[in-house]
Amino acid sequence: MISTLLERVKRFNSDLTEGKIFQEVIKENESVIVDMNAENQLFEKGVNALGVSISSYRPYTDKTVEIKKMKGQPFNRVTLRDTGDFHSAFFVRVSRENFSIDSTDWKTKKLVKKYGDQKGDIFGLTDENLTELITEYVAPEVLEIAKKMILQ
């Protein structure tokens, strides 16, 4: 009985150390991560991963403000959303130890160059969202996996 429990703990520890559990949990929460980046940060707040207003890189031109007003879209902050194609193409890349956010939209390189110093400015989570991700999603799911693997 003790030896079986010890083997289960070793397997869990191995999967944790090798990054398998991290990858599983991040993949499981891809939609949450994308939503935090695209909706919460970019669209609702108009801030990048550093918490800096995107407008500080390059504010909307007067023409863009008028277009945004006509469309009923926010114009008091840069949201990087017009048609929604850019945001809807967001996805998460995950490795053993970290993850990154990117977009498959054709405008990605142009928007990164125009509204940031580097890719990580637009893509990534603010400290506030990263803390929420860890405390509300990652940690509870890792504990659940530990229970299943060890106490099965």
User: Rounded to whole angstroms, what are the CA distances from 131 to 96, 128, 138?
Assistant: 19, 5, 10
Residue 89 lies in a domain: yes
Domains identified in the chain, total number: 1
Cβ 75 vs Cβ 68: under 8 Å: yes
Residue 95 lies in a domain: yes
pTM of the model: 0.91
Q: Is the per-residue pLDDT at 152 higher than 70? A: yes
Tell me how far apart the alpha carbons of residues 34 and 123 are, in angstroms, rounded to a whole number. 9
Residue 12 lies in a domain: no
CA geometry: angle at 108 spanning 107 and 112, to 5°? Answer: 120
Residue 147 lies in a domain: no
Residue 18 lies in a domain: no
Cβ 53 vs Cβ 47: under 8 Å: yes
Measured in whole angstroms, the distance separating CA 142 from the mean position of its chain's CA atoms is: 18
pLDDT digits (tens, 9 = 90+) for 13-33: 999 999 999 999 999 999 999
Residue 6 lies in a domain: no
Residue 132 lies in a domain: yes
pLDDT digits (tens, 9 = 90+) for 58-104: 899 999 999 999 999 999 999 999 999 999 999 999 999 999 999 99
Cβ 99 vs Cβ 134: under 8 Å: no
Tell me how far apart the alpha carbons of residues 9 and 152 are, in angstroms, rounded to a whole number. 11
% of the chain surpassing 90 pLDDT: 85
